[in-house]
Chains A and B, each alone.
Chain A
Amino acid sequence: MKQRMGVKIWRWSIITVVGFYLLVPLYAMFDFSTKPYGFEDSGRTLRAWKVIGTQEALFEAVTRSLITALIVMAIILFLVVPTAIWVQLKLPLLRRPFELLCLIPLAIPAIVIVVGIAPLYRWISINLSESPITLAGVYSMLILPYTYRSLSAALDAVDIHTLAEAATTLGASISRVIFGIIMPTIKTGIINGSFIAIALVLGEFTISNILNFKTFQVVIAQIGRTDGQVAVAVSVASLLFVLVLLLLIPNKKRQGAVLDVDIA
């Protein structure tokens, strides 16, 4: 009993410390964004938050970044996930090289990646489109380490070989097996990976700034140069947005317990 109480206290102490670590900067940002502006009298003001609504460039940037995130999600769903499943099912020997390939973006600094892809994007800008949405290509590569880890964990948790064979003997083609059986089974992993990808796309600054694309974070930085409080208010809002997204990640309970069998 005494031991359990000790564990409880220890657990809550950690949660409190981590909570402070995460919430204090958020509170400080909110505090800064509501401080009196310029030579105004003391007191709180929501001016910076109200100004957000008047920033057209910001809304355009948010829209573009969200579209980019959706394209990245589509690439995850229709390219990365089926490939990961295919490798796991049919090419087990390629599993390690594939994993390594997916982890490479984590090991290369963003600035190096930019230097590498700048000529390609110059060509894309001239010949295809100048839209920041074209960044979806490089972002799909950047998010691979996170998405792959999430997918790999989900795939390892389920006996996909047996599920695939069961579906095949019932008459399913390989595409039906991947899209109709395995993908719904590892839904939680896919959603986790996708949300992490959205968070990364919305938060990416280095590449888009150096390539001179006006994405969400670049526009926030520009606003910050003229009005720090608005920039901070936008940052708090985007953090809250991403937080809501992460909270939307479904509870793993049902899917995770699928093969956890209680033998009667």
Chain B
Amino acid sequence: MSSSTYVQLVDLAKYFGKVKALDGLSLDIAQGELVALLGPSGCGKTTALRALAGLQELDRGQLMVDGKDVTFQSASKRGMGMVFQAYSLFPHMTARENVEYGLKLRTHKVSSQKRKERSAELLDLVGLSSHANHYPYQLSGGQQQRIALARALAISPKVLLLDEPLSALDAKVRTQLREEIRRIQVELGTTTLFVTHDQEEALSIADRVGVMRNGQLEQIAAPSELYDRPKTSFVAEFVGLTNPISGKVSGGSIEVLGSVVKTLPGSVTSGTGIALVRPESLDVVASKSGNATVAAASFLGASCRLNITMNDGTKITAQLLSSDAAGIGAGATVSVSLLDMPLFVKAAG
């Protein structure tokens, strides 16, 4: 355990019959850090979060928080703040009462005046001071999740646990709220574990993102590193889009689309491999003697997505800045080449 490690999940295992929800998961989180766990449904990310909250018993493993072993501590005594995927405000309480609820239960009683001040402060932090006396049914989904966040933060939690809190919201509210969560987390310096299946969400607000698969951590890294330097084909293919293009591998390089680029560690080292090429790693230029034809072009605002058919029949997707894609439409003959970026190469077949 390094000196900055605040939360430590050690070799966690949880089996539901034959299903391995957690299968030797280990993870360290530094104080004040926001770590996102990302992965497909059933990969064990929520089980890991619930185990840390004390809501899920483990078959094996150890949970350390601030140097203390909390593995067998009950959920009510762990001091974790949690925001759930489902709306979880207590329906018979107003927003303020919801926020004050955790403070009322503290072992060292918080005076009524202090509770009021704390709830006012947190409602202000989430921008809902004017809704303090509203009941949950009078609030929108986004507002309910903001109050739930304020409620979780009111108890000054050791760790803030966010279990897909934005997934029930519409796209616009989701974007606003995730930025707000990040702002508040940075402002308060609360150590946070955020579980999501939405990679955009994870990449945009986390300090580090852990990609999970079959109860294990495939890779944990800063968002840019995870995207640019995946260590496994699963991570490369799960995070962002990739074009599988075959090429010859030798000496730590691969020859693809007429270019030779370096391969990332973990890639196959010889023979024929499949390079996983990001759509934005492709350079597309209109050219009458090009090696591909544009099948369809989609305008996405700042960028433009091109579905391209190579002369050998391979179908790929490229993403360019809209300004660079001007004049390239469906049916255009183009020349496709690779930008000089290292690629992850998986074994063919």
Contact = CB atoms under 8 A, between A and B. Distances in A.
A18 to B, nearest CB: 32
A128 interface: no
Interface stretch (B99-107, B236-244, B332-340): B99-107
A258 B54 CA distance: 27
A39 to B, nearest CB: 61
B169 A169 contact: no
B140 A262 contact: yes
Nearest to B143: A264
Nearest to A159: B86
Most buried by B among A170, A181, A263: A170
A45 interface: no
A260 interface: yes
B92 A257 contact: no
Given A254-B135, A263-B173, A264-B140, A169 B76 contact: yes
A167 B101 contact: yes
A258 B91 contact: yes
A166 B92 CA distance: 14
Nearest to B83: A166
A187 B92 contact: yes
Contacts of B75: 165, 168-169
Nearest to B80: A169
Interface in A98-120: none
A163 B82 CA distance: 11
Interface residues of B, number: 39
B142 A263 contact: yes
Given A162-B84, A181-B90, A258-B91, A169 B137 contact: no
A258 B173 CA distance: 20
Nearest to A257: B137
B102 A261 contact: no
A258 to B, nearest CB: 4
A262 B79 CA distance: 31
A258 B144 CA distance: 11
Contacts of A170: 76, 81, 101-102, 105, 151-152, 155
A89 interface: no
A166 B84 contact: yes
B39 interface: no
Interface in A232-264: 254-255, 257-264
A173 interface: yes
Interface in A165-221: 165-173, 176, 181, 184-185, 187
Q: How large is the interface on A (under 10, 10 to 19, 20 to 34, 35 or more residues)?
A: 20 to 34
Interface in B126-170: 135-137, 140-144, 148, 151-152, 155, 161, 168-170
Contacts of B55: 165, 168-169
Contacts of B53: 165, 169
A158 interface: yes
A262 B141 contact: yes
Interface in B12-62: 53-55
B143 A172 contact: no
B87 interface: yes
Contact of A258 (B136, B141, B168): B136
Contacts of B91: 158, 185, 255, 258-259
Nearest to A166: B88
B78 interface: yes
Interface in B198-218: none
Contacts of B101: 167, 170, 172
Most buried by B among A171, A187, A255, A264: A171
Nearest to A263: B141
B288 interface: no
Given A169-B78, A263-B170, A176 B143 contact: no
A234 B155 CA distance: 58
B92 A165 contact: no
Interface of A: 158-159, 162-163, 165-173, 176, 181, 184-185, 187, 254-255, 257-264
12 contacts: A165-B82, A165-B88, A166-B148, A169-B53, A169-B81, A171-B106, A187-B92, A254-B135, A259-B87, A261-B140, A264-B142, A264-B143
Task: Please give me the 4 A-B residue pairs with the lowest Cβ-Cβ distance, nearest first.
Answer: A258-B91, A264-B140, A170-B102, A171-B105
